[in-house]
């Protein structure tokens, strides 16, 4: 990868790390489905205005079915699952659990692309599971029923993101990043419109919650997903999903600085185990990256 690619991945990590902060602030007032519906509607509007201002023609109809799939698995479903989790879990914990995306990516690759699971990759997957157990076992929240459901929802969201990443590479290769980003948000609107309408909040959300929604839509969705699809096209889904190495660090940073959340030693230990497991699982990608740097 080029140095600019590493810079883009870092920016994506900061933007997506901030999404956990925005969700934690906004979800108590809005509720999961209305907050996420607002997120994708505003993001779609911002993307459409930006693309029109840049003079870019966006045609989504030929890809409607595939964008509807992406709207579900890369937006509506994981967004809502994470928002549900953050009703009971703090932003830092959910962000660190989100680091499991590349682990699920390895599993999806093994099933979908028939990638061979070597002993090293298998050991890495097992270590990742241990990391999740350590992380959640020593988190600052009590492991009651609500917390367990939240953890499960976050892991399911990671699986959804992994599926979407491979699908985009195989089924939407060559489609402009702007078209993918806008089309995905429109697909997500179709999935979230009815649930959000049925679950509208009874009281008017606070100014803080409204501001969180704006940041979530513009920064962590519209901008971040344009970068995401551009990177999938440039470096592929597996390497793009390594942004999950960066997101938790920013998620914890924003949570500590802006929400006053507590980071425990167990959370750091669990995150460390997950990082090691991801390096083990993605050894082929790392070797490829090393060869690219040597021949650059």
CB distance 9 to 169 below 8 Å: no
- Sequence-distant (6+) residues with CB within 8 A of 91 are 20, 21, 23, 24, 251, 254, 255, 259, 261
Percent residues over pLDDT 90 in the chain: 41
Higher pLDDT, 243 or 145: 145
Tens-digit pLDDT profile for residues 97-136: 887 887 788 788 777 766 666 777 778 777 877 877 776 6
Q: What is the predicted pLDDT for the residue at 290? A: 47
| Separation CA 295–CA 93 (nearest Å) | 39
Q: What is the predicted pLDDT for the residue at 294? A: 45
| Separation CA 77–CA 163 (nearest Å) | 12
How confident is residue 155, by pLDDT bands cut at 50, 70 and 90?
A: very high
> Structural domain boundaries of the chain?
3-295
| Separation CA 150–CA 213 (nearest Å) | 21
Q: What is the predicted pLDDT for the residue at 138? A: 66
pTM of this prediction? 0.83
Q: What is the predicted pLDDT for the residue at 53? A: 86
Alpha carbons within 13 angstroms on the beta-carbon side of residue 130 total: 13
CB distance 91 to 20 below 8 Å: yes
> What is the overall mean pLDDT for the chain?
85
Helix ranges restricted to H, the chain: 3-30, 32-53, 64-71, 77-85, 91-97, 101-112, 119-137, 145-171, 177-198, 207-217, 224-235, 237-240, 247-259, 265-281, 283-295
Tens-digit pLDDT profile for residues 51-96: 888 888 888 889 999 999 999 999 999 999 999 999 999 988 898 8
Tens-digit pLDDT profile for residues 225-268: 888 888 887 887 767 777 877 888 888 889 888 988 888 787 78
Compute φ and ψ for 206, nearest 5 degrees. -70, 170
């Amino acid at each position: 990868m080029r140095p600019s690619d590493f810079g883009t991945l870092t920016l994506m990590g900061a933007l997506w790390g901030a999404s956990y902060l925005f969700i934690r602030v906004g979800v108590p007032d809005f509720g999961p489905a209305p907050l996420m519906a607002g997120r994708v509607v505003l993001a779609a509007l911002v993307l459409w205005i930006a693309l029109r201002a840049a003079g870019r023609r966006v045609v989504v109809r030929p890809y409607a079915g595939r964008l509807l799939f992406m709207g579900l698995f890369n937006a509506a479903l994981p967004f809502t699952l994470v928002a549900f989790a953050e009703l009971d879990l703090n932003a830092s914990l959910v962000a660190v659990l989100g680091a499991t995306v590349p682990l699920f990516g390895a599993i999806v690759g093994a099933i979908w692309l028939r990638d061979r699971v070597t002993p090293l990759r298998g050991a890495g997957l097992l270590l990742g599971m241990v990391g999740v157990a350590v992380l959640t076992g020593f988190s600052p929240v009590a492991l009651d029923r609500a917390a367990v459901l939240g953890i499960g929802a976050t892991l399911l969201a990671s699986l959804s993101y992994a599926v979407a990443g491979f699908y985009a590479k195989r089924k939407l290769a060559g489609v402009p990043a702007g078209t993918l980003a806008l089309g995905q948000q429109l697909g997500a609107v179709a999935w979230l419109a009815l649930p959000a309408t049925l679950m509208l909040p009874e009281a008017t959300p606070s100014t803080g919650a409204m501001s969180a929604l704006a940041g979530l839509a513009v920064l962590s969705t519209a901008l971040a997903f344009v970068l995401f699809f551009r990177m999938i096209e440039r470096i592929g889904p597996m390497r793009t999903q390594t942004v999950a190495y960066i997101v938790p660090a920013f998620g914890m940073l924003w949570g500590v600085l802006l929400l006053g959340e507590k980071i425990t030693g167990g959370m750091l230990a669990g995150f460390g185990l997950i990082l090691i497991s991801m390096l083990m699982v993605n050894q082929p990608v790392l070797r490829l990256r090393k060869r690219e740097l040597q021949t650059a």
